[in-house]
Amino acid sequence: MRILLVVGVDPWTRSVSTVHKYAAAAKAQGHEIVVFGPAHWELPTLNFTTDLSDIDLALFVVQVPSDFPDMPYLATLLDGLPRERRMLVDMWGRFNDTIRLEHDFNHLEKMDGHQGWEWEDAMQAASDVILQPTLSPLRPQVGSFLFHGFDPGSVLRAHTTAKKAAAAWTDREFGALYVGSNWQRWEQVHRFFEGYRTIRDRAGKACLVGWDWDERPQWAEKLGIKGVDTDKAFLASVGAETRSAMHLNEVVERLGKARFAPVIHRPLFRHLGLVTNRTFETFYADAIPVLMLPRDFVASIYGEAGLALVPGPDLAAHLDDALTRAEFYWDAVLQVRGHLGRHHSYAQRLGELASLPTTAPRLGAAA
Amino acid sequence: MNILFVMKHRGNAGNTHAVANYQRVAPRHGHSVAIYGTPIWYVPELQFSTDIKDFDRVVYVFESDPYRIKTLHEAVMLTHFSRSKRLILDSDGMYNPVVNIDGYDFNHRNEAEREWWIAYFDAIGDRVMQTTVAKPANPRVSAMTFYGYNETLQVDPASAPPKQYDIVHVGHNWWRWRQVSSELLPAFEKIRDQVGEIGFIGLWWDAPPPEGPAAGPEEAFHSDPEALRRLRVKVTNAVMYHDVIHTMSSARINIMTQRPVLSHLRHLTLKYFEVFCADTIPMLMLEEGHAEAVYGPAARELVLTGRVAEKLLDALHRPDHYRGVVEDVRKHLVTHYSYDRLIGELVGALRN
């Protein structure tokens, strides 16, 4: 199959890493993944095209407005590829009624200028198969497709036993490291570091890598957007430093320079059960993930073993216990990696993708 | 037929005024016309809509920059209107080979830019209409008058504003300076003491746009405000489209110029027709044959080219004679360019 991904790719953010994984997995299976649009000089290993002649299936991967191709490419795509070969995965839950949780929204009109109806109309224009990366979409006419996946070959240090992993879990540059931008995550980040404070001396310094952690950005102030908060004094008090965003190729290795790697989903994603690249990617790193996620979500995605990596109400105790009983936690990590490899590989995702045109629910009426 | 125009809309631009005329006559013929977007407060009579699904056909109007709507909206637009229901109106001659007039005005800077435009047009639709009276060389292109003569806007001399000016030029300084400075200003210089107030009403005669290069090529806005001051030419700002004809009527003579590339391509603009609605004597800086093709044989007498100073004085001295010529041209325009006729042409093109 020749599968076209219609998505804005940026080497620094969003789904670019997953797109690379699809390309590699497809190649291994004798398929081909191509990305719609002109070639991107920073992403030389991806195949870009605007030639639609041999495309078997197209998947619009929609996070932000710029994931819809600009004109004239949009016209080329919508006119050139039959509707029945197009599907759309709504990565951020736009295809829902407006949801507000804490400061988080699925329709961020102040940020991108679009109200809910605009997203719905545009998505229905692209396809009558709308998917969301959650196991349980809210709307019956929306299908489930997690999109992101796990590539066992990408695990940086594939320890064969928990004992070996625990033994190697020493001499890290950081005690904890979080990679992700400051967007609707501050409450959870704050909670993590509040707990981390008590073990900092034992575990080592902490670091936040991503955009806008050092100070609340001016654009957020100007637009009156909350949920992009930070507290320099607090971060200093827990010994957490901030660094700017990193290239996709550096994330896993950098995470492995820490003992703990928290996995944090923004409130909207927690509510909708949406997965992200980091949901899976964190398990490639040579660090113990701290799953700051709902337990039922963890069990359904990571398997029962993942629950050992979910801190209870006393986060400090959880981290302290991990430092004390590293082998127990590494055993959970290895079990989760096995589970992810069995249930969420990109080979499986490609299989799901191929069957979705016949199995996914379709919107009642064409747009 | 419900027709949606996707276009750059401004209260002081000809294309917007032309569409307002289509909106006016459409209901008489069982049609409706709207511009895609939300209402502009200062021109409340213009009809806008964002309800794409209420329309049967779409007309994309392209000037010399590609007007784009939000991508999410464009997806809906392209899905609702299949290619056969889209029409592209090329009002600035972009769907052409590179045309460069004497190293000054051009439709494309170079071949690469042209290719980009052609690809853009081709991606959107199969049919391009150009607002020209010439037969387009490209078989994919047809000519369409588009701009028309609205007889109801003709100003009765009895109700016309006082003649504040002897001579006025209403229009923006967009690729006009070369013609103005080489033909018009030298003529003004010769006869300045014999003529009353002269005015230039429009944008960019005294300064280029404040947005800088984003507004377009620097040379398109070039002017010499000092030369205008020296000739006592009063420069005032643009007026809204519904005030254009009234403003033109405040002068005994109106001078009509056209940017060189459009003149070369024999494109029409709304100004061709607005100026004949006004209570004034239009003097045309057009090629004679082209003027006759558009306005009929009487218009030859209104052509300024090559004899500017003499003709201006003659018109000021013999206004009744020239008013007679203007009446002959108006009759021609009513017969050939009424919007009641043009909407049929537009609907026909959209049905075809």
pLDDT digits (tens, 9 = 90+) for B295-308: 999 999 999 988 89
Q: What is the DSSP letter of B136?
A: P
Instruction: For residue A346, give Cα distances in angstroms to A286, A353, A354, B86.
Output: 21, 10, 12, 41
SS3 B57: strand
8-state DSSP, B161: P
Looking at the complex, report in whole angstroms how far the Cα of residue B8 sits from the nearest Cα belonging to chain A. 16
Interface residues of chain B, partner chain A, Cβ below 8 Å: 66, 68, 70-76, 78-80, 82-83, 119-120, 122-124
* Range with the poorest average pLDDT among A59-68, A88-97, A350-359, B40-49: B40-49
* Closest by Cβ to A119, choosing from B72, B82, B123: B72
Distances (CA, A) of B113 to A73, A115, B120, B200: 16, 35, 11, 33
Q: Which of the listed ranges A100-104, A241-245, B71-75 does the model predict with the highest average pLDDT?
A: B71-75
Question: Would you place residue A365 in the very low, low, confident or very high pLDDT band (cuts 50, 70, 90)?
Answer: very low
Q: How far apart are CA B293 and CA B134, in angstroms?
A: 10
Report the side by side order of strands in the sheet with A142-144.
Answer: A48-49, A32-36, A2-6, A57-62, A86-90, A130-132, A142-144
- The residue whose two tokens read 């959880």 is A318
Confidence of residue A9 (pLDDT cuts 50, 70, 90): confident
Which chain A residue's Cα is nearest to B79?
A125
Contact between residue A345 and residue A150 where contact means Cβ atoms under 8 Å apart:
yes
Which chain B residues contact residue A74 at CB under 8 A? 71, 74-75, 78
Test B71 with A113 for CB contact under 8 angstroms.
no
Residue A366, pLDDT score? 43
Q: Which residues of B touch A108 (CB under 8 A)?
A: none
User: What is the count of residue pairs from A and B with beta carbons less than 8 Å apart?
Assistant: 65
The residue-averaged pLDDT of A83-109 equals 93
Start-to-end CA span in chain B (Å): 13
The number of angstroms, rounded, from the C-alpha of A228 to the middle of its chain's C-alpha atoms is 18
Q: What whole-number distance in Å separates Cα of residue B166 and Cα of residue B73?
A: 48
Distance (Å) from the alpha carbon of A229 to chain B's nearest alpha carbon: 29
Task: Report residue A311 as tokens.
Answer: 């801190």
Query: A331 to chain B, minimum CA–CA distance in Å?
Result: 47
Residue tagged 């607002």 (tokens)? B131
Six-digit token string for A234: 């607090």
Is pLDDT at A116 greater than 90 in this prediction?
yes
pLDDT value at position B12? 61
- Torsion-angle region of A65 (φ positive above 0: left; ψ -120 to 50: alpha; else: beta): alpha
Whether B88 has a pLDDT exceeding 80, the answer reads yes
The span from the CA of A22 to the CA of A75, in Å, is 25
The whole-chain average pLDDT of chain A stands at 92
Cα radius of gyration (chain A): 21
- The Cβ of residue A176 has, within 10 Å, a number of other Cβ atoms equal to 28
Q: Please list every residue in chain A whose beta carbon sits closer than 8 Å to the beta carbon of residue B122.
A: 72
pLDDT band for position B330 (50/70/90)? very high
Q: Which of B58, B79, B120 to mutate to test the interface with A (most CBs of A within 10 A)?
A: B79
Q: Cis check for the bond before B208: say yes or no (omega within 30 of 0).
A: no
Mutating which of A66, A118, A119, A124 best tests the B interface, going by the most B Cβ atoms within 10 A? A118
Q: Residue A13: is its pLDDT beyond 80?
A: no
Give the per-residue pLDDT at B13. Answer: 66
Distance (Å, whole) CA B146 – CA B59: 12
Structure tokens that stand for B257 in this block: 């110029």
Give the predicted TM-score (pTM) of the model: 0.87
Which residue in chain B is spatially nearest to A113 when comparing CA positions?
B70
The candidate with the shortest Cα–Cα distance to B91, out of B268, B326, B225, is B268
Inter-chain touch A70–B75, beta carbons under 8 Å? no
Burial class (CB in 10 A: 0-12, 13-18, 19+), A229: middle
